[in-house]
């Protein structure tokens, strides 16, 4: 739930009242009575309240912490509840898996919108996966557009205070509830200017009367408010004769045009840099080259202004050099046995015309479950008659619960999404020699780790060598043509973020449907803050004319 409003608008006061309710007032006044009745109740009845902020000495949260300590101090008190309050720093945000789903938890992320990107990614994991651990999240910020898009898309409620969002932001929010966006925005802004706050329930349909609330207890009917507002608007009568006389007076006056000097300077600078950059000898690959060209042309633009303009050009972004080091996710980083296992269900086709000398009344195995330890490369398998969940579960138990085998239950088990279908003629004789083949593979030397899997299972850590040796330069060392772009000319949005901590892996980013359907690391992506500038029409026209003349 994002809570948005400027400093002093009352965001923290409202949250403190929600977490304490009437219980703090009843305890302070000493009202006596049965447990849970006369001593009030908390409006958000969570078991654990965690505040993630850079300011642990906030007085309002200090009072909430003090009352939580009183409530949970004496188990014999009639107002006792088993609740906890704690502070965490944004740099020490734990994993979602560290929380128990048996206790309901609320985490308040207060004023962390300017935190580094990796902290925002960790916060996004709580909004995306926190519900599986019985976690609810509150994101407190001063401006609506500062909240990451992923948090917007995974929020169930939105609370707006005064000056927390612009007119355009309010219009985007209200557009899903009414067609009269202009008047509806004026209604919302009128309440916000009066010191009220508006709550949007994003889980309800747009025609639900409870989708928008004034505070938490009063439904807000936008259509009704618009009709009342239109009835109260004054009616202005204009005399046609006086209007014509006023028009004649205005027509005789000399018009005055006010020009902003800063905007005029920025426009002149943009046109000058555009001519220098898009000329045939231009297209500079760094800021210093364009800055030197400006000085030769007698322009006194600052280096910072030239850099800001150049970094916003689409042509410069596409041909920017790639980073020197790009970390990749690799299974070679897994050094401890039984940390990550890979498994697959492989179908066994049969040739009915081959005589196998096997009994007809014996079991016919149609699948085989193959398990491989990523660190030691140790392999084991079990034949299956079907792909039923019960038989597969029993197969896993026979592998992992066998004390004679080195494979134990791993920390992470990966199953391939597609079933392997081997080609060629096979028969039931594979049941005879499959165990012999796998045992031979476990006793054979593996080039990646320099030893056999059976020997590797006796070690605590195994370090692997590079899996592939290339005969040609690859990556940034690969020779590139002058006209080859380094970055894609199209823009894409980040659809999903995967943070892997065990084993240590780089953060993976998945793009939307219009982009490549594979993961990327941070170094393979360029963050575009503003809409890039494309070359002007005169540039494209000049290049086209120049090409025709050369032909």
**pLDDT for residue 453:** 86
pLDDT at 423: 40
- Strands across the sheet containing 367-373: 379-384, 367-373, 340-347, 412-415
Is residue 435 domain-resident?
yes
Per the structure, the complete domain to which residue 398 belongs is given by 337-456
| 495-534 residue pLDDT tens | 888 887 655 678 888 998 888 888 888 888 888 877 777 7
pLDDT digits (tens, 9 = 90+) for 230-265: 666 565 767 888 888 888 888 877 777 788 888 888
Q: Work out the number of other CB atoms within 10 angstroms of the CB of residue 238.
A: 7
Of the residues 130, 165, 200, which one is the last residue of a structural domain?
165
User: Highest mean pLDDT: which of 148-162, 366-380, 453-467, 500-514?
Assistant: 366-380
**CB 445 within 8 Å of CB 371:** no
314-353 confidence digits (pLDDT tens):
888 887 877 777 776 677 778 889 888 999 988 877 655 5
In a domain, 8, yes or no: yes
What CATH number should be reported for the domain holding residue 417?
A: 3.30.420.10
Q: How far is CA 91 from the centre of its chain?
A: 18
Q: From residue 315, how far is each of 190, 253, 374 by CA, in Å?
A: 45, 47, 43
Q: Which two tokens stand for residue 289?
A: 């080259």
- The answer to whether residue 148 sits within a structural domain is yes
Asked whether residue 246 is domain-assigned, the answer is no
Can you give the CATH number for the domain in which 139 is found?
Answer: 3.40.50.300
The answer to whether residue 284 is domain-embedded is no
Where a domain ends, among 441, 456, 471? 456
Give the end of a domain, one of 403, 425, 456. 456
- Is residue 496 domain-resident? no
Tell whether 243 is covered by a domain: no
Domain assignment present for residue 321? The answer is no
Q: Which pLDDT tens digit goes with each residue over 40-76? A: 788 888 888 888 888 877 888 888 888 888 888 888 8
Residue 36 has pLDDT above 50, yes or no: no
In this prediction, residue 313 carries a pLDDT of: 86
Q: Can you give the pTM of this predicted structure?
A: 0.41
Query: How many distinct structural domains can be found in the chain?
Result: 2
pLDDT at 3 over 60: yes
The whole-chain average pLDDT of the chain stands at 79
Tokens coding 375: 């660190």
Average pLDDT over residues 12-36: 72
- CB 312, CB 533: distance < 8 Å: yes
**200 pLDDT above the threshold of 50:** yes
């Amino acid at each position: 739930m994002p809570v948005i409003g400027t400093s002093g608008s009352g965001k923290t006061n409202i949250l403190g009242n929600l977490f304490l309710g009437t219980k703090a007032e009843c305890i302070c006044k000493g009202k006596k009575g049965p447990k849970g009745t006369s001593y009030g109740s908390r409006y958000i009845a969570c078991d654990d309240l965690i505040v993630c902020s850079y300011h642990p000495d906030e007085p309002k949260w200090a009072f909430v912490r003090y009352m939580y300590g009183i409530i949970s101090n004496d188990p014999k008190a009639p107002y006792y509840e088993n609740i906890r309050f704690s502070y965490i720093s944004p740099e020490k945000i734990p994993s979602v898996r560290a929380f128990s789903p048996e206790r309901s938890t609320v985490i308040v992320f207060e004023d962390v919108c300017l935190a580094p990107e990796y902290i925002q990614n960790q916060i996004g994991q709580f909004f995306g996966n926190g519900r599986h651990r019985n976690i609810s999240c509150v994101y407190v910020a001063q401006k609506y557009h500062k909240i990451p898009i992923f948090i917007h898309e995974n929020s169930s409620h939105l609370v707006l205070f005064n000056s927390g969002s612009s007119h355009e932001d309010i219009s985007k929010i209200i557009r899903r509830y009414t067609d009269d966006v202009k008047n509806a925005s004026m209604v919302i802004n009128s309440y916000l200017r009066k010191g009220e706050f508006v709550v949007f329930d994003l889980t309800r349909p747009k025609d639900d009367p409870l989708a928008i609330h004034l505070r938490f207890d009063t439904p807000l009917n936008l259509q009704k408010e618009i009709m009342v507002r239109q009835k109260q608007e004054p009616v202005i009568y204009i005399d046609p004769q006086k209007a014509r006389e006023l028009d004649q007076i205005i027509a005789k006056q000399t018009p005055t045009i006010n020009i902003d000097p800063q905007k005029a300077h920025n426009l002149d600078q943009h046109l000058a840099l555009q001519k220098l950059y898009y000329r045939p000898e231009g297209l500079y690959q760094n800021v210093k080259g364009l800055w030197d060209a400006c000085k030769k042309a007698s322009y006194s633009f600052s280096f910072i202004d030239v850099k800001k303009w150049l970094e916003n050009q689409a042509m410069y972004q596409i041909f920017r050099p790639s980073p020197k080091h790009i970390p990749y996710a690799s299974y070679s980083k897994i050094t401890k046995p039984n940390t990550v296992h890979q498994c697959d269900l492989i179908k066994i086709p049969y040739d009915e015309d081959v005589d196998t000398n096997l009994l007809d009344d014996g079991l016919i195995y149609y699948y085989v479950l193959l398990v491989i330890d990523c660190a030691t490369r140790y392999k084991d398998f079990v034949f299956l008659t079907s792909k039923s969940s019960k038989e597969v579960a029993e197969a896993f138990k026979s592998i992992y619960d066998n004390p004679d085998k080195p494979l134990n239950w791993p920390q992470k088990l990966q199953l391939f999404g597609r079933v392997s279908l081997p080609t060629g003629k096979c028969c039931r004789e594979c049941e005879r020699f499959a165990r012999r083949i796998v045992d031979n593979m476990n006793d054979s030397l593996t080039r990646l780790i320099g030893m056999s899997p059976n020997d590797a299972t006796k070690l605590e850590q195994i370090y692997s060598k590079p899996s592939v040796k290339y005969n040609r330069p690859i990556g940034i060392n690969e020779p590139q043509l002058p006209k080859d772009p380094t970055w894609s000319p199209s823009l894409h949005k980040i659809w999903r973020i995967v943070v892997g901590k065990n084993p240590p892996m780089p953060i993976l980013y998945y793009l939307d449907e219009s982009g490549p359907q594979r993961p990327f690391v941070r170094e393979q992506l360029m963050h575009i803050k503003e809409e890039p500038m494309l070359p002007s029409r005169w540039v494209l026209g000049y290049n086209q004319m120049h090409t025709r003349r050369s032909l």
